[in-house]
Chain A
């Protein structure tokens, strides 16, 4: 299939269809409303089911219900909407059902604004709901990768029977870039899900719940979840490096859109003989600590650049214990220019 020019939000919608997803429940919110808009138009062509719910709370519980039936299901939202969904995300994790959530982050806290932000990093990687659980978090930095990671997200959700989140920002959702989609997955050909609620004809009923009043049973679930997370940490870490060399003046840590702004600044300074490498985690959980630490060991100084007041910096510190990690970021929906970032790099290198 040829490349087509699409908005990130539209590509997310199309990729979900390609992955065999036929159920979408959601509620519009800027800057991700093009996803429901696209799927509302496209789903009838593939016998998909689209419901605009009365609220994010309702949408997320529809997701939970649909996932229990074993089908591939998606919702997308932006920061305040995702907060409303956090209860259901915890229930999905506790019930061990596969769901894919997309958060196209806007500036906060509260209702905040509608412009790009990365301020939901902690929420996604640390506290996506009550209770003791983790979700896989994938962070694209271009439209092609957004499409590819959606396809991957459905596979990972099924593999771990666990929620998976795509974390982007307003720019990832709004910009248009060429994208080439993978082959259409036929939902009928997906592996069986023997745990799903499909009607108990000819077999013992399955019970899906997140309520366990017996502490021993609940602790067994906690231990089973922990084993899953350890497995994710062992095999699911993904990252990209750029311009890494053995004696770097600076190593830059950035995810999503900020990594691209960082690349332009790195290229410009390379022409002046300044060697700066970039480390970009693609999985924010599990965070690729070892690879991030190895990059740190080759650089004189370290900096995390983010569209927040500094959240991923915590993970960079964990990856490079004992090292000073500097920070540059803008907030409120303001996106720094490559020149801003370049000047910040220079200031740090020369200090």
Chain B
């Protein structure tokens, strides 16, 4: 089993965090993982992305040019990374903020209105958790329970945030399952 995902959006959307949660939850379930951030001079509102590799075997290259999957939280991210996804891969699009698609017919696209779904739960800042839940629901990289456990660890002592994030993860997971996609 080998999964590579690029998670991309603008700074502040919490992409680095959901990448870390995916890596921690997968590590907890015995997988080998690697999380690599884009680091460089960025300003608030600039782009942010991380690459996560989850594998049964030790991870060779942490640098992934053509990921199997992409989580795009804003349009510049989809435009930058959409063309790079491997043929047969998955592109998860935050349709709340992105009104286009990749224009490719060799990848599976799933649209999740992450901001709107998060807003319905209580706060659109949890859009990152909705999209992570959806990603787990589709790809089954690790269990939802493990992700929730590490999310709770991350926000220890902040019960309101934990409750919001849990609902957002669960809602996203449902949407991911409902998409009935096999990648």
Interface residues of A (CB under 8 A from B): 3, 5, 30-31, 114-115, 170-171, 174-178, 257, 260-261, 263-265, 267, 335-340
Complex interface: chain A residues within 8 A of B62 (CB): 171, 175, 257, 260
Contacts of A335 in B (CB 8 A): 63
Q: What residues of chain A lie closer than 8 Å to B37, measured between beta carbons? A: 174-175
Q: How far is the CA of A30 from the CA of B41 in the complex (A)?
A: 10
Say yes or no: A5 contacts B66, CB within 8 Å.
Answer: no
The answer to whether A177 and B35 touch across the interface, beta carbons within 8 angstroms, is: yes
Q: Is B169's CB within 8 Å of the partner chain A?
A: no
Contact yes or no, A339 B65, CB < 8 A: yes
Residue numbers in A under 8 Å from B39 (CB-CB):
30-31, 114-115, 170, 174
Q: Which interface residue of A114, A176, A261 has the most chain B CB atoms within 10 A?
A: A176
A-B contact pairs, 15 of them (CB 8 A): A5-B23, A5-B27, A30-B39, A115-B40, A170-B39, A174-B39, A176-B20, A178-B27, A261-B61, A261-B63, A264-B60, A265-B61, A337-B64, A337-B65, A339-B65
Q: Beyond A257-B62, A338-B63, is A5–B40 a contact (Cβ under 8 Å)? A: no
Task: Name the residue on B nearest A257 (C-beta).
Answer: B62
**Distance of A337 Cα from B63 Cα, bound (Å):** 6
In the A-B complex, list the 3 residue pairs whose CB atoms are closest, starting with the nearest: A337-B65, A264-B61, A176-B35
Say yes or no: is B32 at the interface (Cβ < 8 Å to chain A).
Answer: yes
The answer to whether B33 touches A177 (Cβ under 8 A) is yes
**A3, B40: Cα distance in complex, Å:** 28
Contact B23 A176 (CB under 8 A): yes
**Known contacts A5-B23, A339-B65, A339-B66: does B60 contact A260 (CB below 8 Å)?**
yes
Does B183 touch A at the CB level, under 8 Å? no
Q: Nearest chain-A residue to B16 (Cβ)? A: A176
- The answer on a CB contact under 8 Å between A3 and B27 is yes
Q: In whole angstroms, what is the CA distance A5 to B36 when docked?
A: 12
Which B residues are in CB contact (< 8 Å) with A338? Answer: 60-61, 63-65
Known: A5-B24, A115-B40, A339-B66. A263 touches B60 (CB 8 A): yes
Contacts of B91 on A, CB cut-off 8 Å? Answer: none
Chain B residues lying within 8 Å of A336, measured Cβ to Cβ, are 63
Q: Which among A175, A257, A267 has the highest number of chain B CB atoms within 10 Å?
A: A175
B87 to chain A, nearest CB (A): 14
Q: How many Å lie between the Cα of A178 and that of B24 in the bound state?
A: 8
